[in-house]
A = this chain, B = another copy of it.
């Protein structure tokens, strides 16, 4: 009975882990957000730069940035009235690159 409870516990934890991962994946699984991430790469950029480089509206970019910040994908730094965004964990960049290599190889 104790063992059963323990197993339940572990399963619950594993499921949390999976649900959480799905959340993170969902946060990056959008063309505009992926474009933001690939533009950022390892540098930090202010919102205006991202707006220019991705070709969407300021409002739209801001909403996508907020979403990714909320989910701890991005972190920010304020400098005067500019906000700089960067990817929190640099490993994410490699991870995305790997995914692109596997499933979406560039045309040769």
A residues within 8 Å of B by Cβ? 13-22, 24-26, 28-31, 33-35, 38, 72, 89, 91-92, 95-96, 98-100, 102-104, 106-107
Nearest-neighbour CB distance to chain B for A34, whole angstroms, equals 5
Tell whether, in the assembled complex, residue B34 and residue A103 are in contact, meaning their CB atoms are under 8 Å apart: no
In the A-B complex, list the 3 residue pairs whose CB atoms are closest, starting with the nearest. Answer: A25-B29, A20-B104, A26-B29
Dominant SS at the A interface?
helix
Chain B residues with CB below 8 A from A38, complex form? 18
Chain B residues with CB below 8 A from A35, complex form? 15, 18
Look across to chain B and name the residue whose beta carbon is closest to the beta carbon of A30: B22
Give Cα A35 to B19, complex, Å. 9
Give Cα A22 to B100, complex, Å. 9
Chain B residues with CB below 8 A from A22, complex form? 29-31, 33-34
